[in-house]
Amino acid sequence: MSTDLLLPGSLEGRTAVVTGASSGIGEATAERLAALGARVAVLARRKDRLDALAERIRAAGGDVLVLPTDVTSREQVAAAAEAVERAWGGADLVFANAGVQLISEIDALQVADWDAQIDLNIKGVMHTIEAFVRPLEAAAAAGRPADLVTTSSIAATRVLEKFSVYSGTKAYISHLTRLLRTELGRKGVRVATVEPGMVDTELPDHVTDPDASRLMADLLREIDCLQPADVAETVAFVAAVPRHVNLTEITILPTGQAV
Ligand SMILES: NC(=O)c1ccc[n+]([C@@H]2O[C@H](COP(=O)([O-])OP(=O)(O)OC[C@H]3O[C@@H](n4cnc5c(N)ncnc54)[C@H](OP(=O)(O)O)[C@@H]3O)[C@@H](O)[C@H]2O)c1
């Protein structure tokens, strides 16, 4: 395997779609994929943030399509897929990354938070798969690389108090990767998931439980957390390896994170 995998132009000719591209991991990944030569469609709800990202990508010479999309809406994701198809032909690198973490004790019955996590972390990913699986299969059938990459979490495998629903959604995503490979792998579509530990993003800002929020803020202070660019580099590497290589489940932790 070549060691020169991540050079300017390494992802030339690839058509990428990144969900949750308005901040954090998705934003950094969209920018990195574009810097490596991919055309990138950026999806999230905050158009102003997507526009600012697009401006940076264009200023660096990249090609970008801003598609404000709520991925909990099957119709909106389908419309985004059609827009990509019209602009560039089908996508061949899909990063289904949008997600939210709303941790709380189960008997606090924060049912709106349960629903929000299930709707985005599970159903949002399924809508993305529904909209893009055929273009991915078509790219692979044409002999091109095709990647479906999701963002799971270390929470998928760790047993942490208050994390039940969030961890459950991420366990779904990690196991989904294994299951999808049984069908898509033999069609030439690589399926991968990244399972990050603590990354310095906007994720903790949405937590409604004050204790849980404090716990995450303390962790962010105590350890040298991952930066979004660390995860972006991992996703870019997953996409840049030769077609016959499928990195599947990639755990990426801050060196100092013990649990
Ligand atoms: N940060 C961590 O420590 C960590 C660790 C493990 C896994 N993760 C996972 O990493 C992924 C990205 O999170 P992040 O850490 O980068 O946090 P973030 O900065 O909060 O990013 C979340 C992204 O998801 C988007 N999003 C939220 N609701 C959406 C919706 N309904 N439709 C479309 N996009 C939506 C947000 O954009 P809009 O609000 O503009 O829609 C934003 O771009 C998530 O799946 C998260 O679970 C994070």
Q: 201, 207, 227, 251: which to mutate for ligand 1, most atoms within 8 A of CB?
A: 201
Q: 32, 71, 100, 158: which to mutate for ligand 1, most atoms within 8 A of CB?
A: 100
Residues near 10 by Cβ (< 8 Å), separated by ≥ 6? 36, 37, 236, 240
What the block records as the tokens of 178 is 């294994």
- Tens-binned pLDDT, residue by residue, of the chain (259 aa): 556 899 989 999 999 999 999 999 999 999 999 999 999 999 999 999 999 999 999 999 999 999 999 999 999 999 999 999 999 999 999 999 999 999 999 999 999 999 999 999 999 999 999 999 999 999 999 999 999 999 999 999 999 999 999 999 999 999 999 999 999 999 999 999 999 999 999 888 888 888 777 777 787 888 999 999 999 999 999 999 999 999 999 999 999 998 7
Secondary structure element (H or E) that encloses residue 180, with its range: helix 164-184
Assigned domain for 241 exists? yes
The pTM (predicted TM-score) of the whole model is: 0.97
Assigned domain for 148 exists? yes
- In angstroms, rounded to a whole number, what is the distance separating the alpha carbons of residues 194 and 95? 10
Assigned domain for 187 exists? yes
Assigned domain for 127 exists? yes
The CATH number given to whatever domain includes residue 205 is: 3.40.50.720
Assigned domain for 178 exists? yes
Residue 74 phi, psi (nearest 5): -55, -40
Atom of ligand 1 nearest to the CA of 170: 47
Q: Which residues are catalytic?
A: 166
Question: 4: CA distance to ligand 1 center in Å?
Answer: 30
Residues near 76 by Cβ (< 8 Å), separated by ≥ 6? 69, 70
- In angstroms, rounded to a whole number, what is the distance separating the alpha carbons of residues 18 and 40? 7
Question: 45: CA distance to ligand 1 center in Å?
Answer: 11
Q: Which residues approach ligand 1 with their CB closer than 6 A? A: 19-26, 44-46, 49, 69-72, 97-101, 120, 151, 153, 196, 198-199, 201-203
User: Ligand 1, atom 41: nearest CA belongs to which residue?
Assistant: 45
Question: 147: CA distance to ligand 1 center in Å?
Answer: 20
Number of domains in the chain: 1
- Smallest CA-to-CA distance from 188 within 224, 147, 150 is with 147
Q: Which residues of 108-128 are buried (b: 16+ CB within 10 A; e: fewer)?
A: eebeebbebbbbbbbbbbebb
pLDDT tens readout for residues 224-240? 999 999 999 999 999 99
- In angstroms, rounded to a whole number, what is the distance separating the alpha carbons of residues 16 and 30? 8
Assigned domain for 10 exists? no
- Distance from chain centroid for Cα 98: 6
Assigned domain for 106 exists? yes
User: Ligand 1, atom 43: nearest CA belongs to which residue?
Assistant: 20
- Smallest CA-to-CA distance from 14 within 236, 217, 218 is with 236
Residue 28 neighbours by CB distance under 10 Å: 23
Structural domain harbouring 198? 15-252
pLDDT tens readout for residues 174-225? 999 999 999 999 999 999 999 999 999 988 888 888 877 777 778 788 899 9
